[in-house]
A = this chain, B = another copy of it.
Amino acid sequence: MVNPMQISQMKFTGLCAFPLTPFNEEGFQEDAFISLIRRLVVAKVNSIGVLGSTGAYAYLNRQERAQVIELALEHARGIPVMAGIGALRVRDILLLAEDAQRLGVQAVMLAPMSYHKLTEDEVFDLYKTVTDHLSIPLCIYDNPGTTNFKFTDELLAQIAQLPFVRSIKIPPISAYLPDAKKRVDSLRKGIPSEVSIGISGDWSGLDGLRAGCDLWYSAIGGLIPETLMDIVHTANQGDFELADRTFQDMEVILDMFRRYGSIRVIACAAKELGIVNNFCLPPPLKPLPEVEQSLLRALIHELQPA
């Protein structure tokens, strides 16, 4: 049975912070994960996105993912938790969706992971099948760099009509405001009003908010949430100039995101901050080159509130 109260529980606004999952062949650093979640609670992020790309969902099996969700829910202090349920095969996605719902997350997010490049028809059917089995909100996770699938606005609009779809996480947009606005407006026109649009790819975050996105899905916000909440808050008050100035301090790190992928940068930064005690991602993923780690060491402490 669908519980409409439950469906409205997840607020897709402000900052949705994506914490790292420190889970590798040495096991799950539970204390480190709890401390990541606690930082999000202290910063009062609007929602927590566990098992996103930065949360290494694609590398974790069903049991490992359930462990992560349980721990997040236990420590989220009522902040809505959204969990990634992506997998290559629909059968597995449905099992992961079932687990996530049973454990009590407030929403799920789903990227069309692929090995064989998927067709539009396949991707639509994928979301159709999954939403047929859902009773909580779903966020369409558009991440062409990892899924090898490029959504068109037409397809997003079609999927957004499905029941339980409540948000679309879009990839980085143009830094040129008129183009960015055009893209957000055009997407907005095709989707129901209850479906929010969230920007992702942290270097594009402020560009997204400026162009009218409803929220920021942030990987760096999973690590230094207070700083990010500050930026989002300032931007939402309309002072983009001030938001930009704070944001500029992150430029070097965000440039590393582009070159090395945010997951490796965040994992190394978490080590520099003493949150995790070693490189916490599963092989084949490896840490940044030593020279970039030194640079990160010099920069990351500056980005935290004193």
Residue ranges of A at the interface with B (Cβ–Cβ < 8 Å): 25, 53, 58-59, 88-91, 112-119, 121-123, 125-126, 129, 145-146, 148, 260-261, 263-264, 282-286
Q: Please state if B122 and A286 are interface contacts (CB–CB under 8 Å).
A: yes
Once bound together, how far apart are the Cα atoms of A264 and B121, in whole Å? 13
As for how many copies of this chain the complex holds, the number is 2
Q: With a CB–CB cut-off of 8 A, which chain B residues contact A283?
A: 89-91, 122, 125-126, 129
**What CA separation (Å) do A118 and B126 show in the bound complex?**
26
Residues from chain B with a CB closer than 8 A to the CB of A115 are: 53, 58-59, 113, 146
Contact B282 A116 (CB under 8 A): no
What B residues does A123 contact at CB under 8 A? 284
24 contacts between A and B (CB under 8 A): A53-B115, A53-B116, A58-B88, A59-B89, A89-B282, A89-B283, A89-B284, A91-B283, A113-B115, A114-B146, A116-B263, A116-B264, A117-B145, A117-B146, A118-B284, A119-B260, A119-B286, A122-B283, A122-B284, A122-B285, A125-B283, A125-B284, A126-B284, A148-B148
CB distance from A147 to the nearest CB of B (A): 8
Assembled-state Cα–Cα distance A195/B125 (Å): 43
A158→B263 CA distance, assembly (Å): 27
With both beta carbons as reference points, the residue of chain B lying nearest to A286 in the complex is identified as B122
A91 neighbours in B (Cβ, 8 Å): 25, 282-283
B-chain residues with CB within 8 Å of residue A122 when the two chains form the complex: 283-286
Bound Cα distance A89, B21 (Å): 15
A261 near B116: Cβ-Cβ < 8 Å: yes
- Identify the 5 closest CB pairs spanning chains A and B, nearest first: A58-B115, A90-B283, A126-B284, A122-B284, A59-B89
Q: Which of A25, A115, A117 has the most CB of B within 10 A?
A: A115
A125 interface neighbour in B146, B148, B286, Cβ under 8 Å: B286
| Chain B residues in 8 Å Cβ range of A113 | 115
Q: How far is the CA of A118 from the CA of B286 in the complex (A)?
A: 9
A149 to chain B, nearest CB (A): 10
How long is the Cα–Cα vector from A186 to B84 in the complex, in angstroms? 43
A126 vs B282: C-alpha distance when bound (angstroms):
12
How far is A115 from B115 in the complex, measured between Cα atoms in Å?
A: 9
The CA of A11 and the CA of B122, in the complex, are separated in Å by 38
Cα of A58 to Cα of B113 in the assembled complex, Å: 11
Contacts of A261 in B (CB 8 A): 116-117
Q: A117-B261, A126-B284 are in contact. List 10 more A-B contacts (CB 8 A).
A: A25-B91, A59-B88, A89-B283, A90-B282, A113-B115, A116-B264, A116-B285, A119-B286, A122-B285, A125-B286
